Chain A
Amino acid sequence: MEEEIPKNSYTNQEKNDIFNNEFLPHITSMYNFGYRLTFDQDDAKDLVQDTYLKAYRFIESFQKGTNAKAWLFRILKNSFINDYRKKSKEPSKVDYQEVESYYNSEDVDRQITPDLRVDSLKDMIGDEISNALNSLDVDFRTVIILCDLEGFKYEEMAKILDIPIGTVRSRLHRARNLLKEKLSQYAKSMGYKNTES
């Protein structure tokens, strides 16, 4: 059952003020999110435009002064899943049950952190970091974008993604380990044969 959202009544002037002062300042973050989900500038542009049109259309569901950025990210994420992903790509095949079991196992601390050094990371001056992020499955990529690039709190991420906070944490944990594995591969290809510090 869907949560009932109290409606607000805004004049046209108030709607425009909310749009200009609370929604538009996030457009760069929104575009970056759209681009990192789709890897296509036109698709990202369409996603952002669609998100802002929906935000304006449903502006009376938005409470002035609350977290506009999280609200907009939630709309964009839903548009991506419902419209873009459905028509263009097959859905994610990540088995979250497996991820949860894995996270809760005792192996989690000792085995996955690759022997990666801070020095080798700082020598990555090209696109390695970005490419490593882009190589992750979309659901893992998304939690890293929301947390590390955009600075959302776990509670906000849970609302944006419609998942429990525990799942946010476990997904982040797994995503970061996958990212480190990828960065470790790049470090080795750059000549860091022994990546132990």
Chain B
Amino acid sequence: MTNSVNPFILADGKKPSCMEMLQLILDGEATAGQQEYFRTHMDKCAPCFKSYNLDNTIKELLKTRCCGDSVPAGLIEQIRNQISQNQAS
């Protein structure tokens, strides 16, 4: 842990868990101060380091393996035709 105040601490004073901090970091929701704090924290927290690499890998794999479906041929044309028909009626 660093000597600085944990910038993840919420307004109600509740200290976030490692997993809560990690999720904000991985999802790009952390502020610059939170990112800096977490980088230092991760150097001293083995579970966070391991989870960071694992969760980051899963996130990347999801993006590369689950986004490949192509739009069926003719769908855009079908939508355009339907809109034209609706406008005409």
Contacts and interface: CB of A to CB of B under 8 A. Distances in A.
Are both chains from one complex?
yes
Interface residues of A, number: 45
Contacts of B65: 127, 129-130
A126 to B, nearest CB: 9
A11 interface: no
B75 A41 contact: no
The majority secondary structure among interface residues of chain A is helix
Contacts of B54: 113, 116-118, 121, 180
Contact count band on B:
20 to 34
B42 to A, nearest CB: 15
Contacts of B72: 31, 41, 45
A116 to B, nearest CB: 6
A117 B18 CA distance: 19
B43 interface: no
A73 interface: no
Contacts of A53: 79, 82-83, 86
Contact of B71 (A28, A109, A153, A172): A28
B5 interface: no
A149 B23 contact: no
A57 B86 contact: yes
A140 to B, nearest CB: 13
Interface string A1-30: 000000000000000000100001001110
Interface in B43-60: 50-51, 53-55, 57-59
Given A28-B70, A183-B58, A56 B83 contact: yes
Nearest to A31: B71
14 contacts: A31-B72, A32-B66, A32-B67, A48-B71, A49-B75, A49-B78, A49-B82, A108-B17, A113-B51, A117-B54, A118-B53, A121-B58, A121-B61, A133-B62
Interface of B: 17-20, 23, 27-29, 50-51, 53-55, 57-59, 61-63, 65-67, 69-72, 75-76, 78-79, 82-83, 86
